[in-house]
Chains A and B, each alone.
Chain A
Amino acid sequence: MSADDRLRELANRVRKHKGVGEFDRFVPGTRLREDLGFDSLDLAEFTVRIEQRCGVDVFAAGVVHTWGEVVARVEQHDRSTARGA
């Protein structure tokens, strides 16, 4: 499954936990707060879900604002672990 697909699943799990419906208009410019509706607690939950699933803390290297940035950090991690393997 691509990084983008994995992340969509996780983002929608956070939204479900929040009691809001599924989001399906993900584009690189999708903003985590304004478009996905994530507050700081939701972002913390999203971060740990990503860490559990993908093995990387996407906020560790600085704040991310958009969908494209999150996907890029996970893809970069996937590439570096593939190289290391």
Chain B
Amino acid sequence: MHKTVLITGVSRGLGLACARRLLEGGWRVCGVSRSESAEWSALARAHAGMTEWRSWDLERTERIEAGVQEFLPLTRPVHALVNNAAVAYDDLATNVSLARLEAMLAVNVVAPMMITRAVIRNMLCHEVRGSIIHISSVSVRSGARGLAMYAASKGAMEAFSRGIAQEWGPRGIRSNCVVPGYMETEMTAGLTADQRTRIRRQAALRRETDVESVAATVGFLLGDESSAITGQEIVVDAGLS
């Protein structure tokens, strides 16, 4: 039987790379994002019958419960979750706009917590010893100008993940964070060439983090080979931190 994984933010970037890798590994992928990109559609066509997609806006946290009940009702077992979708809010702390801060916290913190709630409930119903991954960021460790609020949202998820690991470990449910370094995706499209060069120079491997390496780590943490790993943060950052 194919196992089912729910991945948020599958339209592009890391979420799309995770979906591709997991499909190749035989997983059935339920994906959500606001837009259905051409890349996701092509992937879905290449793996006909193994993908499903819904348009969810994770900023609308009040809709998550109904969304889960429709997409993944308790009658349908879920084996894994990748909380990947996030937005970066880049600004000095002195400039914080309350509306933008709350929107970011909704997508990066509240939504993944509510989705985790639903997925664990589903796993309990089916006695599934599942695996949950949250995508964090090296900015939690290194700190960076302009990223204080974003890094704080990721730090919240690292703390949440450890709590989930302790709370649900007795039922065989695992929770881990994957912590990527700088990846060339739409999230970082606004960086200047100078900034990119500087980040690459700071990394031990003198390069950016490739999404494939991060997606492979996600695949490993979802699989049985990692069955004794829980409550951890696995850094995949080309030696940036």
Contact = CB atoms under 8 A, between A and B. Distances in A.
B171 A48 contact: no
A51 B171 contact: no
A74 to B, nearest CB: 15
Interface string A60-71: 000000000000
Interface string B116-127: 000001101101
Contact of A44 (B74, B75, B124, B127): B124
B170 interface: yes
Interface in A8-52: 17, 41, 44-45, 48-49, 51-52
Contacts of B75: 52
Nearest to B124: A45
A52 B118 CA distance: 12
A84 B20 CA distance: 44
Nearest to B69: A51
Contacts of A41: 167-168, 170-171
A3 B125 CA distance: 19
Nearest to B122: A48
B70 to A, nearest CB: 14
Find the residue from B122, B124, B168, B171 having the highest chain A CB count within 10 A.
B124
B19 to A, nearest CB: 27
A52 B127 CA distance: 13
A17 B74 contact: no
Nearest to B73: A52
Contacts of B170: 41
Given A41-B171, A48-B74, A52-B75, A17 B125 contact: no
A17 B121 contact: no
Interface in B129-174: 167-168, 170-171
B125 A48 contact: yes
A79 B41 CA distance: 44
Contacts of A48: 74, 121-122, 124-125
B74 A51 contact: yes
Find the residue from B74, B75, B168, B170 having the highest chain A CB count within 10 A.
B74
Contacts of B167: 41
23 contacts: A17-B127, A41-B167, A41-B168, A41-B170, A41-B171, A44-B121, A44-B124, A45-B124, A45-B125, A45-B171, A48-B74, A48-B121, A48-B122, A48-B124, A48-B125, A49-B124, A49-B125, A51-B74, A51-B121, A51-B125, A52-B74, A52-B75, A52-B125
